[in-house]
Amino acid sequence: MTKPKQALSSTRKILQTQASSTALTGVSIAIVMVIFATVLAGYFQYGNISISSAVATQQNNFVLWILDIVPFAFAFWGQRMSSTMSLRADAIVNDRTEQLRQQARVMELQAAHDATHDALTNLPNRIEFANLLKREVTQANARAEKLALVTLSIDQFKEINASLGNAVGDQILQQMADRLLSVAVYPMTVARTGGDEFSLIIPDIDDTSRVIDIVEKLTATLHSLFSIGKFPIAIQVSIGATLYPEHNHEPEVLTLYADLAMRSAKISQDRFAFFEESMARPDTRQLQMVGALRKALQNNLMSLYYQPKVDASSRQLISAEVLARWFHSDLGQIYPDEFVPLAERSGLINELTYWVINESLRQCAQWRGEHGLIISLAVNLSVQTLIDPELPNRVSACLAKHDIPAYHLSFEITETSIMSDAARSLQVLQALIDLGLEISIDDFGTGYSSLSYLKQLPASEIKIDRSFVDNILNDPGDATIVRSTIQLAHNFGLKVVAEGVENEQVAQQLTQWDCDILQGYYLSKPLDPEEFMDWLQRQSA
């Protein structure tokens, strides 16, 4: 508050000084005019111009007395009005500033809320829930207390969406959130942690009987018919639970254990299960990974590889897709299809994505310094990062930090990730486009597969999934799909990338169909930074 007040005080003084200066100028002009009028009147009355005639004229001419007073009266009035106006302006600016400050506070609070809450149910989202769980575990540890983590999901929810529509599915989720909150009251925490998944934290428990009691209440309220319009709908849920510190001390591991228990519940008669060690035996590798993933990110133990995307006709580099790799001392090489889903389930996906963005731009800046060129990069985004309102700001900061123009960075996003929260996704995508980035729809054809829907998406490129590209020489159906997709995408003004190009015959066929960009092991496997530069030099030779 101090700086705005100082600024207003300074502005008021400037206005008053300007008003005083103008008033003094007016008074000076008025005085000169009075003297001139006096001298002129003396000349006409006494026939000469002298001090004595001027004094005599002032003494004997009543009209000049009035003229003498007028400029001083107006000067006083003008000074008075200028002070009044500056005070009024001060009050108006104060009121407007406070109003704008209050609006800014509201917008900041709303932005903070949107970043941490699910738009559909208004519950904490997966990212916020991970933070809340860490806090609860820390407090439980300090107080020597126990807590339970409960995860539940709706059985056959995809079938509900497919048969009744997404709008009905959304209403079920909203009503489900309300029912959960009616049972899991403070100090319990409820969050929506997935498409049809919800999680609860039950703090300060004495034994499992309290957890079982809450689960029974949850089951009873959720198995009551849902009223959607005129149609009652029955749902069934599967519920898994894990305990701190009995089962584990790490929040990420507890999250995985609750998920394993929930999946086990799906095949049990009661649709409920506590975590047991036997559930984790098939996932020993994943359990090792979840404990090491955060450390790998914090200690920069991961690496990035770059797979070229080339022009279909010239075979020259267009850009490179960024792919994370993780070599673990005990588990060996770990690929994205293994650790990315784990990062999503454990709440580490944003930390992973922002590391990839920053590290790839750092590498891009290093290439520019060493080789004098900027490589355009394509980074994959998960649904959780896509709906993060902070994404545009953090990307902009990374671009500025490494001095890379925005048009050299693009994001590859799947159709299903966009549709998981369409309103927020489109808002974030538009903000990224406003920065100058490009958006590519990845794995096209495996999600909603609606080309007409593309006109609503702020994308400049689609990538045809490798499952269609693999068999275009032998499967007429796949060939028709790929050829038609290329033609229709071009009608929408979109570039087309074909993934999974494994031989020259496929590459030539795609080129004949006017596919714009090719990507696949035939052209190049993913390469580390040094190998990538060697490949690029061979292409340029």
First vs last Cα of the chain: how many Å apart?
63
pLDDT at 115: 75
Q: Using CA atoms, how far apart are residues 82 and 402, in angstroms rounded to an integer? A: 52
Tokens encoding 300? 């920069």
pLDDT at 449: 45
H/E stretch holding 43 reads helix 2-46
The 3-state DSSP class for residue 467 equals: helix
Per-residue CA distances from 334 to 282, 295, 322, 338 (Å): 17, 15, 16, 7
> What does each of the 541 residues of the chain score in pLDDT, given as a tens digit?
444 445 545 555 665 565 566 666 666 776 776 677 667 666 666 677 777 766 676 666 666 666 666 666 666 666 666 667 667 666 776 777 777 778 777 776 776 677 788 888 999 998 889 999 999 999 999 999 999 999 999 988 888 877 787 888 889 999 999 999 999 999 999 999 988 999 999 999 988 999 999 999 999 999 888 988 777 888 999 999 999 999 999 998 899 899 999 998 988 878 899 999 888 766 677 777 877 888 888 888 899 999 999 999 999 999 999 999 998 888 888 888 888 888 887 778 888 999 999 999 999 999 999 999 999 999 999 888 888 888 999 999 999 999 999 999 999 998 777 766 677 788 888 899 999 999 999 877 665 445 555 666 788 999 998 889 989 999 999 999 999 999 988 988 899 999 999 999 999 999 999 999 999 999 999 999 999 999 999 988 7
Q: If you ran DSSP here, which 8-state letter would residue 502 be given?
A: -
Classify the phi-psi angles of 315: left when phi > 0, otherwise alpha if psi is within -120 to 50, otherwise beta.
left
Burial call 61-96: b when 16+ CB within 10 Å, e when fewer? beebeebeeebeeebeebbeebeeebeeeeeeeeee
**Angle at the Cα of 510 (from 505 to 514), degrees rounded to 5?**
145
Return the closest-CA partner of residue 241 out of 268, 222, 223, 264: 264
Strand pairing class (302-311; 317-328): antiparallel
Strand pairing class (317-328; 377-380): parallel
pTM: 0.62
CA 128, chain centre distance (Å): 14
- The residue assigned the tokens 């997966």 is 126
The strand pairing partners of 495, in sequence order, are 461
The 3-state DSSP class for residue 193 equals: coil
